[in-house]
Amino acid sequence: MAKIAILGFGTVGSGVYEVLQHNAASVARRAGEPVEVKYILDVRDFSDRPDAHLFVRNIDAILADDEVKVVVETIGGTRFAYPYVKQALASGRSVCTSNKEMVALYGAELLALAKENGCAFLFEASVGGGTPIITPMHQCLAANVITGVEGIVNGTTNFMLTKMAREGMDFADALKIAQQLGYAETKDPGDDVDGRDAGRKIAILASLVCGHHIYPQNIPTRGIRDVTAADVRAADKLGCVIKLIAWMKLLPGGGVAAGVEPCLVPKTNQLAGVDDVFNAVRVHGDMLGDVVFYGKGAGKLPTASAVVADVVDALKHGGRMHDSLFWQQAAPAEGMLTDPEPAAYYLGIEGAAPAVAAAICGEGQLVAERYDGCAYLVSRADGPALDRMAHKLEAVGGRVRLVLRLLPGED
Amino acid sequence: MAKIAILGFGTVGSGVYEVLQHNAASVARRAGEPVEVKYILDVRDFSDRPDAHLFVRNIDAILADDEVKVVVETIGGTRFAYPYVKQALASGRSVCTSNKEMVALYGAELLALAKENGCAFLFEASVGGGTPIITPMHQCLAANVITGVEGIVNGTTNFMLTKMAREGMDFADALKIAQQLGYAETKDPGDDVDGRDAGRKIAILASLVCGHHIYPQNIPTRGIRDVTAADVRAADKLGCVIKLIAWMKLLPGGGVAAGVEPCLVPKTNQLAGVDDVFNAVRVHGDMLGDVVFYGKGAGKLPTASAVVADVVDALKHGGRMHDSLFWQQAAPAEGMLTDPEPAAYYLGIEGAAPAVAAAICGEGQLVAERYDGCAYLVSRADGPALDRMAHKLEAVGGRVRLVLRLLPGED
């Protein structure tokens, strides 16, 4: 019988408890022994529950009990989670978490602490919710050098963009529905719609690929606030959809570039068909080529089931996981990890005649003369070139209202 | 330094050797030590190679060398592979293989032998080539009861169906090109086009899901020989594509159904966009919902990279793998594992007026009056009902020329 503790009995934490009860037999078979929750840490009052005796309000009881082998952290944020997780790892307990903020900020430090203490620090649920991404990347692709990752990793914005595409809704209405359904925060939906959540997730995957810590603050991040219903219609006319894509790639001369930005995705690209709250991540291995992992990016039970799979791995393999699941500590980069290579961008330009816009955007190729008062064109450029275009357009009273990176079609 | 042996230096075996040399550093980091090929078993003459000293013609030298920890089996077939693998496992060496025929026939026995001898028997590359499917299924979905699997697992037929859809080619021409490209056997392409290869793969996945051995001969298997260019066009008119789908599902009252058959797949279904030699497998977990794994289903280096990832796991985790990757031995079932539940089928009927065909096929709904001499209709039926319809049609001089299971649209 393996005893574990759950820190934080919110959505994911209570889901972990539910999954362990619902699928106790299959979990026991896979772990090689039954898995039992001995403590649940939460400061709220659960005294009316039949299992009230499991609840504690202080982590000391958990750390003092040698029977507890694995600690599940589902508090979220870093204020409490981070010190608790450090204490648990320092005491030799494996920790499994869904906390992307903590992993994105302190992943390298916590992995090192786990390695030092012969235990595991696992976080499959921090990216893609229940969809297996991190484990296949470091384990099944062990014989590959991963050269790039791109994907849809924020379910809320993907739900909104799907609503906008299917029902012609504008951003504000799509956000309102996402908030009503509990997908987006009511007070400040910025973590989702401004891309910060996606930025944390791609920082985690980039760290795993690069072997050293990549910080979210070094990743150029743009969300979907600028995307209008007209933009979505214009994209459809081109056989494309607009998606919020998080990406990273190794650069030919060494180094890494990464970003979170709305992209124009041809419908022949596998990522174009990923709708609603689903997530999908494409990983490029040098031996394997492209693989895509697709599934529900969030939700109580899917996310909890990924945490429980980590608990099974922690019980079976402990500190041995960190031969492949590891990255070095590193200071944040000096500047942003912008892409030094030119890419194709799709520009929405207001206030300038299409011909003028096309002339200014140099090699720009006009793709839709004018649509709802906006001229759309495609231009191959790097960041500084895009800035120069914007300045020139301003000089003639125009404005770049929208910049979408253009993904290739396939497959 | 971990020493391994490769049995069979064909496409996949030489690929394993290449991957180990090309990505030696990243493999060593993941395995915790460098991995070196000490022997290659192959009866052909490789004496002009610089590494000729590695080649042996008899397995005894390998079995006599205690330094060899893992044996890679890439001979294919069962005549030599099966006895060699048994000897290797009996001696306590872990075995990693891409051999779906051997796993589909003897998987349970070989897993038991590995468990008994404290070593690992791993076969990620036997389904989906390089695409991670088996490892995510048993490890990342450890907290789920898997209730169903369906996917495109034969790259050759998927390549042919893609050619037929995109270029209006008929079966014979698509087969010729697949043969010219080396995707299909020239002498007898039946393993691919008659669905036997897909049958072996779904037998492996069904065994893993059910926990006891499922034999390919119990799985109703139909290939794509009956699919014409006209059928593909008719499907397109309905917003669908035709795909060869291998599927299995747990039945509500216990038991299992499985099949390999050409299906009508709505373009809104994730599997519809899987083209060329790509594979994709959708797995349904009771906690997680649907996840899809997508990637190259074959090819030298992709398949070899999956074998090498298994070698890393075998070195790190050995016999501990079999808590989750295991199924019991069982005799073949008495009859076929046909689906007892009615499903929607798309029927192509020749030699009967559309109205007559619709009247005979009871609840049949006519979807395309007549197209290239064939009446197409959808009927909800189980196997016996389909047989009754075929007999009634014969009585009026008609014939069911094509039966396609209809998959749901989504997602």
A residues 119-138 closer than 8 Å to B (CB): 124, 130-132, 135-136, 138
Which range has the worst mean pLDDT, A339-348, B4-13, B274-283, B353-362? B353-362
**Could you give phi then psi for residue A102, rounded to 5 degrees?**
-65, -45
Give the integer Cα–Cα distance in Å for B292 and B145: 16
CB contact under 8 A, B293 and A293: yes
Q: Please judge whether A142 and B19 are an interchain contact, meaning their C-beta atoms are less than 8 angstroms apart.
A: no
- For residues B63-90, one letter each, b for 16 or more C-beta atoms within 10 angstroms of the residue's C-beta and e for the rest, the string is beeeebbbbbbbbbeeebbbebbebbbe
User: pLDDT value at position B297?
Assistant: 83
Question: What percent of chain B stands above pLDDT 70?
Answer: 97
Q: How confident is the model at residue B370 (pLDDT cuts 50, 70, 90)?
A: low
DSSP state of A97: E
| Per-residue model confidence (pLDDT) at position B9 | 97
pLDDT at A285: 96
Contact A288 B301 (CB under 8 A): yes
Give pLDDT tens digits for A320-344.
888 889 999 999 999 999 999 989 8
pLDDT (average), residues A316-323: 86
**Stretch A185-196: mean pLDDT:** 94
What backbone phi and psi angles, to 5 degrees, belong to A331? -75, 155
Kindly provide the residue ranges of all beta strands, DSSP E only, lying in B228-340, ordered along the sequence: 240-250, 256-266, 278-285, 289-296
pLDDT at B362 exceeding the cut of 80: no
**CB count in 10 Å sphere of residue B115:** 18
Looking at residue B360, its pLDDT comes to 85
pLDDT of residue B309: 97
pLDDT score for A364: 64
Q: What ipTM describes this predicted complex?
A: 0.93
The active-site residue out of B201, B243, B249, B300 is B201
Place of tokens 């930025």: A199
The stretch B361-389 carries a mean pLDDT of 79
CA distance linking residue B319 with residue B327, whole number of Å: 14
Name the pTM for this structure.
0.94
B5-10 average pLDDT score: 97
Is the predicted pLDDT of residue B290 greater than 90, yes or no? yes
Is the model's pLDDT at A131 over the cut of 90?
Answer: yes
pLDDT reported for residue A321: 84
Taking only the tens place, the pLDDT of each residue in A287-314 is: 999 999 999 888 899 999 999 999 999 9
Please give the Cα distance from A3 to A62 (Å, whole number): 11
> What is residue A360's predicted lDDT score, i.e. its pLDDT?
85
Q: Comparing A194-198, B131-135, B399-403, which segment has the lowest mean pLDDT?
A: B399-403
Q: Which residues of A touch B268 (CB under 8 A)?
A: 273
CB neighbour list of residue B176: distance below 8 Å, 6 or more residues apart: none
The mean predicted confidence, pLDDT, of chain A is 94
SS3 A209: helix
Q: Is the pLDDT of residue B338 over 60?
A: yes
Question: Per-residue pLDDT averaged across A181-205, rounded?
Answer: 95
Segment A35-45 shows an average pLDDT of: 97
Mean pLDDT of B81-96: 98
Give yes or no for residue A411 having a pLDDT over 60: no
The nearest alpha carbon in chain A to B268 belongs to A273
Cβ of residue B151 closer than 8 Å to a chain A Cβ: no
Cβ contacts of A275 on chain B, cutoff 8 Å: 411
Q: Find chain B residues with C-beta within 8 A of A290's C-beta.
A: 295-296
Quick one: pLDDT band at residue B296, thresholds 50, 70, 90? confident
Average pLDDT for A91-101? 97
Compute CA distances B19 → A251, B42, B306, whole Å. 22, 19, 10
Q: Of A264-273, A346-355, B87-96, which range is least confident?
A: A346-355
Write down the catalytic residue from A38, A69, A115, A201: A201
Q: Is the pLDDT of residue B316 over 60?
A: yes
The question of whether B237 is a catalytic residue gets the answer no
